Amino acid sequence: MVLDPILLDMLRISHLTLFAAGMGTCLFHDFLTFRSMADPITKSEITSIETLHNWIRFAFAGLWVTGLILIYVRTSFDLVNFSPKLWTKVSLMALMSGNAVLIGLYVLPMLRRNLGRSMLEIAPKEMCIATTIAAASLFGWSSGMMLGASTYLKTAPWEVLLPAAAGWFILCTIGGQVGVMFMRARMQANGEREDQMTFDLG
């Protein structure tokens, strides 16, 4: 399909803007969450997360619309014209969209159930699932950024893309779980130290 160059540029700019806005919102939320993991969960915090989540869903909707138009312009939806990189980008969008649904169905209700407690006091099984969801989100946004920025990955075959994606996903997941375990262990150590000081003073 042939599209006016100016309109095509506008579509690309819109697509990149939506991606940057969604990724920036996601990383900002993850940073705030990690920094406040030892603090009690408040209603205002949940409301803030819900607002950010709604904005990310809006960004996803825009990304799907602009992305599908750009795919049609490039391939006319003929699967023969789909490159490994394009298949990977579509798969990432599907993964991140499903992950956003899981945040609404699992993470937000989990936070509401644990209002007044810190995230590090949430049951380990629940926190493990929530951390995996957060790691999948980080994996998706960062992978999309690398696919868009890398000249090498633009023409990379499946033999490169699949191991790279799998390795990066595993690294994000393990890193997230280890980070939460470290924070939980540090909080427990601080609690034991405070209890010992109270006992000594008593």
Which mean pLDDT values do the consecutive 10-residue runs of the chain (202 residues) have?
79 93 86 82 89 89 94 91 94 93 92 91 91 93 92 92 96 93 80 54 52
Q: What is the pLDDT of residue 162?
A: 95
Given this model, what pLDDT does residue 18 score?
A: 93
Confidence (pLDDT) at 32: 78
Two tokens at 94? 């599907």
Q: What is the pTM of this model?
A: 0.86
- Domain limits, the chain: 5-201
- Exposed, middle or buried: residue 116 (CB in 10 Å: 0-12, 13-18, 19+)? exposed
pLDDT at 183: 85
Give kind and range of the element (H or E) at residue 19: helix 5-35
What pLDDT score was predicted for residue 5?
A: 80
pLDDT of residue 77: 92
Instruction: Please report the pLDDT score of residue 198 as a whole number.
Output: 54
Q: For residue 72, what pLDDT is reported?
A: 92
As a whole number of angstroms, the distance between CA 114 and CA 118 comes to: 8
